[in-house]
Amino acid sequence: MPILFLALLIGLPILDIYATLRFAETLGVPGIALFLPGVFAGVMIMKRETRSFKSRFVGAVQSMSLNAMVFDSGRRMLAAALFLAPGFFSDVFGLFLFLIPNRSLATLGAQGHHGDAFDRDPASAKTERATKSGNDKSVVDGEFRRID
């Protein structure tokens, strides 16, 4: 089993490079022309996501909750690593991962505000919405009499 895993780990990139060079030959362009854009995109994405992933991960660890922002940032880091790997098919798969819509943007749209959705827990966001709409059920207004 480890030999099969090692063969896949070495064989797939070699097969991807070979397919990329054949594809470049079919297009009539130099092979390097298909490798360079992916490497450039991978470096740019990796630089940007490294900074944001670190801060998001530290925030998630401090709040003891893994949220959509951390997973989205990790997905973009994986896409950047695939862009850095030589080969056309790894670049296509990396592009597919990079273009998946962020779950964090859907959370922001659902909450209806422009703050950071990952900074709050769902209960405080629900209380904030209820207070703004006047439907806060946590406050009871009335009179009471103590009976011993």
Measured at the CA of 49, the angle between CA 43 and CA 112, to 5 degrees, comes to: 140
Q: What is the mean pLDDT of residues 111-121?
A: 46
Residue 60 belongs to a domain: yes
Average the pLDDT over 40-66 and give the result: 80
Burial of 66 (0-12, 13-18, 19+ CB in 10 A): middle
pLDDT exceeds cutoff 50 at 116? no
Return the pLDDT at 135.
58
Selected residue with higher pLDDT from 125 and 10 = 10
Q: Is the pLDDT confidence value at 58 over 50?
A: yes
Tell me the pTM. Answer: 0.59
* CA angle centred on 129, ends 123 and 132, rounded to 5°: 140
Q: Does the pLDDT value for residue 136 go beyond 60? A: no
Residue 132 located in a structural domain? no
Asked if residue 122 has pLDDT above 80, the reply is no
Residue with the larger pLDDT of the pair 26 and 53: 26
Flag whether pLDDT at 130 surpasses 60: no
Residue 82 lies in a domain: yes
Q: Is residue 94 part of a domain?
A: yes
Total structural domains in the chain?
1
**Residue 45 within a domain:** yes
For residue 102, give the DSSP letter.
P
Residue 78 belongs to domain spanning: 35-112
If pLDDT is split at 50, 70 and 90, which confidence band does 22 have? Answer: very high
* pLDDT digit string, tens, across residues 73-100: 788 888 898 898 888 888 888 889 888 8
How many other C-beta atoms lie within 10 A of the C-beta of residue 111? 16
Residue 104: the pLDDT is 57
22 falls within a domain: no
